A and B are shown apart, each in its own frame.
Chain A
Amino acid sequence: MSFGSPWFTLPEFTYHKPKTLKEALELLDKYGEEAKVMAGGVGLLAFMKERLMAPSHVIDLKGVPELGQAIYKEGEGLTIGATVTLNELARYGPLKKFGALHDAVRDIADPIIRNRATLVGNLCEAIPWVDTPPALIALGAEVEIRSLKGERRVPVKDFIKGPVEIDLEPGELVTAVHVPEPRRNSRSRFIKYNTGSEFALVSVAANVVMDGGRVRDVSLVYGAVSSTPQVAVKAADALKSAEKPWEVLDEVGRIASEEVEAVSDVLASEEYRRHLIRVLTLRVLREVMG
């Protein structure tokens, strides 16, 4: 995927700023495939500038008050509305309970971008090297989707279908992301390896449930390695079945580095990515198990 545009201007489009969710859904229903919703616009406008997207209708969600809240309920979890910015979320106290997401959100780009960009936008953009999807998947988050026809919920893991491809029909809108209450004795972290720019060459989120000296459950999710976030199942199994998990960390990293799909692109070769998966696995497990 190329980034960088010869153009200074955007393609022509009509701008809408609905005031209610209903109005937004009606507009989406009316314009169908010709419409794109806009949250922060950080991704959308860049894509439009590059002519990778050319919607004739842009529906700005920032005027819809009910989409602008992050709410944590003890025992239920955290619900993040579609226009909550990354900085609003970073400042929201309860986010700390969700270690991996906390790490991911605070590490994105820079304060100026985070003032504008939203979590839901970051997720819906679905470019392979964005940071929040691996964290959301490791935490078992779900996407809340609405259209005039009704509502549905999809795990984030299934929501991202490919690069810049999500499980969303014309007329549908993501209203929020829901992250369930972390399990007892669990701990999650997110780490990315980047150099020269903010974009990760490889990222990893780990969510571990400890049980005495053993690992009862673990989720290992890798970002930026392939077109979609990769869940390492065999590596997780190896860690769970180990009597002395501290002894097998490199083994786990090796398994993960062989098991997941990894590609070569302009940022890194497949070979180097697989090596980084091994190294980052060590690092993230050190953080969550320590």
Chain B
Amino acid sequence: MAGKFVGKPIPPQDAFLKATGTAPYNYDIELPGMLYAKLVTSTVPHGRIKRINVEEALKVPGVVKVVTGKDIPYMVGMYAGDRDLLAIEKVRWVGHPVAAVIAESLEAAERAAELVDVEYEELPAVFDPLEAMKPGAPLIHEHMEKYRRLPVFKPVPGTNIANKFRVVRGDVETALKEADIVIEEEFHIKHVSHAFMETQNVIAHWHLDGTIEIWTSWQNPNPVRQIMAESFGIPYNKIIVKIPFVGGGFGGKAGLGWEALVAVLSREAGHRPVKLVLSRKEQFTSGACREGFHAFVKAGFKKDGRFIAYDVKYVLDAGGYADYTVNVGRAVAYSADGSYEIPNIRCEAYTVYTNKVPTTALRGFGYSESHWVLEQVIERAAKKLGMDSAEVRRINLIKPGVSITATGERLREDVGNPRKVLESILQEIGWGKPSEKPKEPWKIRAKGVALLVKGPAQPPKAPSSAAIKFNEDGTINLLVSTGNFGQGTVTALAQIVAEEFGVPLESVRVDWIRDTHSAPYSWQTVGSRGLFTDGIAVLNAVKDAKRQIFKVASEALRCPEEYLELVNGEVRVKGKPWMKIPLKDIVMGYSYPDGTSIGGPIIGRGVYMSVHTTNLDPETGQGHPTIFHTYGGTGVEIELDLLTGEIKVLKAVQAFDIGRVINPLLLKQQFHGGFIMGMSIALFEEIKFDERGWVLNPNFTSYYVARIKDVPPVVEKFVETPQADGPYGARGVGELTMIGVAPAIANAIFNAIGVKLNNLPMTPEEVWKAIKAQRPDLIEKAVKEYQKKMKEVKAVA
């Protein structure tokens, strides 16, 4: 159905305010009487707090209070429940908040924070998760069995393992023996930052009547409320969470934040509002980032290219707190098989505490990691088998309606068309045709491809809801609590409503502010689920509102409902378009000429509830983890400078089967934005630690993020295989667009020169080291070529 709005490239509704610099972000908000908080953070990686001396700090004019962990001994969390608000007895990483100063001004708070003196008794620390897993390693959380966690997570008390998760299907041992070739490798990924523009910041006001008002830069208000209500034992309706414009989230504003801490600070400071803003350095050292990652794999293939056995162990370096990362440890395991049907599979994922910065979800979590491994395994196997890697992919691709995934889920018939995705990438990138030779003979060009699939990593019950509220003039307030931090979901939702009611797009407004009090519930805004889940809720709300409207119109027009239709914002009698009532004369109730009225203000409500998702078996990981699977892939053409090891992406192709395009402009933006983020993480980003766990590059001069000059042209390929239970057939895609980039680049290099790049990021130094270790001749040859070329230039001149 090509609609008036659905399928059209409509600019995001918040673009104007953002582009003019007038959009109110949380950082901009100030409340009357507001105080400022500043954190004092640990300077040792692991230690017992012996003494905190706050006397000098309290002398600074303007200081209201200094709060320490002992004053507020709450444990909080979303999944693992393992975090204190401020270190209670011991610190677990350098940067662990130990105390908070509250003052009348930021200056006073900072001055006083410098004067808080903390004495530690240092404990043995452990920084490498492989070491931390060994018996006898220093214990970071001695009493993890006591934490209030979600029951699906399985910590191993007495160790540093915050969660252990397994997916087992078939008989991997036997299959490995039957395999004609076995690929055995290790892969590693360094910690990365979300690098959102707006650092985390919160205003909390614990009012005298016990109402807690929160303003925060977060992805969705409901999880914030849930964490606070559950941790404090406070009724949900006493907590009002409001989220204005958000300067980026990327998963880093999905789980546990600072709201509970700042709320308590407000209470401690005499019920005045308190604001906490993290500096960039604090964001790096006290906030949470993406975990460090290690994978150890054995993969067995038959001569004909069939992928028959996959045995993989993942170890996640979760840092001092693993709250959300235990879920990353699940996602990485149940996504191990990617877009392929692998009959025998065994993955074990360990989420492990270390004395480093804590970690959390980051766009595409788990899936980015599993695909970094899997897609390179395919490439390596193809080479060993002497086959075209595209052919190996084709042979093993899942078959809709037939194939069974690693978790034993039979894929629905309309799950998507990965085959078409693959072919469109191959065609666009010119697979099989050699790249043009670069003018500089010390450079090489190459092509690489990676496929991927992803669904939202969520519990089986994760509902959404929406409400449609009409105003006196017939305009519509669309109420949702799904977050809006750059994806543009709410614009797409408004398009759907305008389409369904036949009203102009301007007639549908979604407020800037998401709040828990007036907006209907939506579980979380994560996992690329927003348009899918909340889109269905909105469509159901439309249906509900229409039913109410037709009922009134039927009476008013004296015509059975089945003969009515809604066209261009009017209810009409089919075939007699002159017999009509504009919406505005119905939505507040219909009045007859004599003044008697029927009906009343219209509010449509609709819900989404996940269908067929289940818990996963605790021993085998079998079950249905996700509500959809979106298949896609990335193709790249790269240029490698053999002299420096620097990789430049010349061209990229992104193809995804998104079911149905609701807004091609926003979709393109996701394809481009995701590519850039994926490339940045592939080539530049890495949080570096010293041997004592200090972050060495907590800033953007030494933590590198891709710049605009690094960005190549990106070609978008939309594949549309509608899914029956999606809104207009659509599936989610937001996160997915970054997942394939890194493996596609690594595969390109491997294809061209056979050099394996097993470690992310592929910085020039890392690539140079790999070439030097595996093909030193290439570097020497490049130097010779360079000299030769110079002499030629000289001779011409």
Contacts and interface: CB of A to CB of B under 8 A. Distances in A.
Contacts of A282: 783, 786-787, 790
A272 interface: yes
A5 B38 CA distance: 13
A151 to B, nearest CB: 36
B547 interface: no
Nearest to B684: A196
B794 interface: yes
B281 A195 contact: no
A5 B281 contact: yes
Contacts of A14: none
A199 interface: yes
A272 B646 CA distance: 12
A3 B282 contact: no
A37 interface: no
Contact of A6 (B111, B282, B702, B765): B282
B120 to A, nearest CB: 18
Interface string A1-22: 0111111110010000000000
Nearest to B765: A272
Contacts of B705: 196
A241 interface: no
Interface in B89-138: 106-107, 110-111, 114
A109 to B, nearest CB: 10
What is the interface of chain A mostly: helix, strand, loop, or mixed? loop
A6 B278 CA distance: 8
B644 interface: yes
Q: Determine which residue in B764, B769, B791 has the highest number of CB atoms from chain A within 10 A of its CB, and name it.
A: B764
Contacts of A196: 684, 704-707, 763
Interface stretch (A100-108, A169-177, A228-236, A263-271): A263-271
A105 to B, nearest CB: 19
B277 A249 contact: no
A278 B782 CA distance: 12
Contacts of A249: 787, 790
Nearest to A273: B765
A266 B764 contact: no
B763 A6 contact: no
B699 interface: yes
In which size bucket is the chain A interface? 20 to 34
Given A195-B763, A197-B700, A197-B701, A290 B797 contact: yes
B768 interface: yes
A193 interface: yes
Interface in B776-796: 783, 786-787, 790-791, 793-794
A250 B784 CA distance: 9
Interface string A250-271: 1000000000000000111100
Nearest to B442: A279
Contacts of A289: 794
B198 to A, nearest CB: 14
Contacts, number: 89
A286 interface: yes
A9 B114 CA distance: 12
Contacts of B114: 51
Contact of A269 (B279, B644, B694, B765): B765
B790 A272 contact: no
A272 B696 contact: no
Nearest to B285: A6
A51 B280 CA distance: 15
Given A197-B700, A249-B790, A6 B764 contact: no
Given A269-B765, A286-B790, A8 B704 contact: no
Nearest to B766: A272
B701 A3 contact: yes
Given A7-B110, A266-B688, A279 B644 contact: yes
Interface string A142-155: 00000000000000
A246 interface: yes
A276 interface: yes
Given A8-B110, A193-B644, A266 B282 contact: no
Given A197-B704, A286-B793, A2 B787 contact: no
Given A2-B696, A7-B279, A246 B106 contact: no
Contacts of B763: 195-196
A195 B790 contact: no
A4 B699 contact: yes
Interface in B696-720: 696-702, 704-707
A4 B284 contact: yes
Contacts of A214: none
Contacts of A161: none
Nearest to B95: A6
B41 interface: yes
A275 interface: yes
Nearest to B40: A6
Contacts of B697: 3-4, 266
Nearest to B707: A196
Given A8-B277, A272-B769, A195 B684 contact: yes
Interface of B: 39, 41, 106-107, 110-111, 114, 277, 279-282, 284-285, 643-644, 646, 684, 688, 694, 696-702, 704-707, 763-765, 768-769, 783, 786-787, 790-791, 793-794, 797
- 7 A-B pairs closest in CB distance: A196-B704, A4-B699, A4-B281, A4-B698, A266-B696, A272-B765, A196-B684
10 contacts: A6-B41, A9-B107, A51-B114, A195-B763, A196-B704, A196-B706, A246-B790, A250-B783, A250-B787, A282-B790
Interface of A: 2-9, 12, 51, 193, 195-199, 246, 249-250, 266-269, 272, 275-276, 278-279, 282, 286, 289-290
